[in-house]
Amino acid sequence: MRFVPVKSEEAQASAIIFRMRDLLVRQRTQALNALRGHLTEFGLIVAKGPQNLPKLIALVNDPTSGLPEAAREILVLLIEQLQSLDVRVEKLDQEIAHRAKEDKVARRLMTIPGIGAVTATALAALAPPAETFRRGRDFAAWLGLTPLQRSSGGKERLGRTSRMGERTLRRLLIIGASAVASWTARKGAPAGSWLDRMLRRKPPMLVRVALANKMARIAWALLAKGGIYIAPITTA
């Protein structure tokens, strides 16, 4: 068993901002899904994703959309709740960005592609001390980013990603990995690089989780040994 040291009051206080942000983001997602679902019941269909919120608002406010007035009055309240949550999340993001600028560890972690101010500050605040883990793989396993072992009889069989451990950090790392993978898919990765080979051979979601796993191991190395991230040099 691996025992995690008890956090100090200062560390617990630093973690509250991420717990609060995670709660507000989940509430915003629930409200957005509710708004989209209610409009779908009246035949007003909009694609999924927060980027389509302006389209949902436009349908609610459009008097020619065919939406019953009784429903419109209630959905306006839901839109106001969404906008209020956006303001609160933005306020927390500004506070996190301010903390990241003042934290030396967070600044070093932000040199890793896919890790921004939110993820870097969350790693510094929520992750146990680096010496708690013997290696980067143990840290990735604690985050729930490694596959379950189903090996037997000398044959290696890997199951689904465990999703055990720290949910907030795992989600942030996967979001960051998704951004890197999407950008790389559009712009192209260096020929022969690990990410280029993965994008060519594996499904997109598997690549994102594998990249998040890799990012977690790199983050552990920086936390344990210091320094900044230096991209490997690929040869043609």
pLDDT of residue 107: 93
Radius of gyration of the chain (CA): 21
DSSP 64: T
Q: Which has more pLDDT, 192 or 79?
A: 79
Per-residue pLDDT averaged across 30-44, rounded? Answer: 94
Confidence of residue 235 (pLDDT cuts 50, 70, 90): low
pTM, whole model, 2 decimals?
A: 0.77
Helix axes 9-41, 117-126, angle to 10 degrees: 130
Task: In whole angstroms, give the CA distance from residue 193 to residue 190.
Answer: 6
Greater confidence (126 vs 88) lies with: 88
Q: For residues 54 and 204, what is the distance between their CA atoms, to the nearest angstrom?
A: 28
Q: Of 114, 103, 102, which is closest to residue 218 (Cα–Cα)? A: 114
> Rounded to an integer, what distance in angstroms lies between the CA atom of residue 120 and that of residue 172?
9
Mean pLDDT of 180-198: 80
Distance CA 144, CA 195 (A): 21
In the 8-state DSSP scheme, what is residue 114? T
CA distance 213 to 9: 29
What is the H or E stretch that residue 223 is in? helix 204-225
229 vs 158, which has greater pLDDT?
A: 229
* Residue 58 scores a pLDDT above 90: yes
- 200 vs 213 pLDDT, higher one: 213
Q: How is the chain split into domains, by residue range?
A: 8-102, 105-236
Per residue in 130-147, pLDDT tens? 888 889 998 998 888 887
What's the DSSP call for residue 166?
Answer: -
SS3 97: helix
**Average pLDDT value for residue range 73-89:** 94
- pLDDT more than 70, % of the chain: 86
pLDDT band at residue 167 under the 50/70/90 scheme = confident
Please give the Cα distance from 217 to 115 (Å, whole number): 13
Res 171 pLDDT > 80: yes
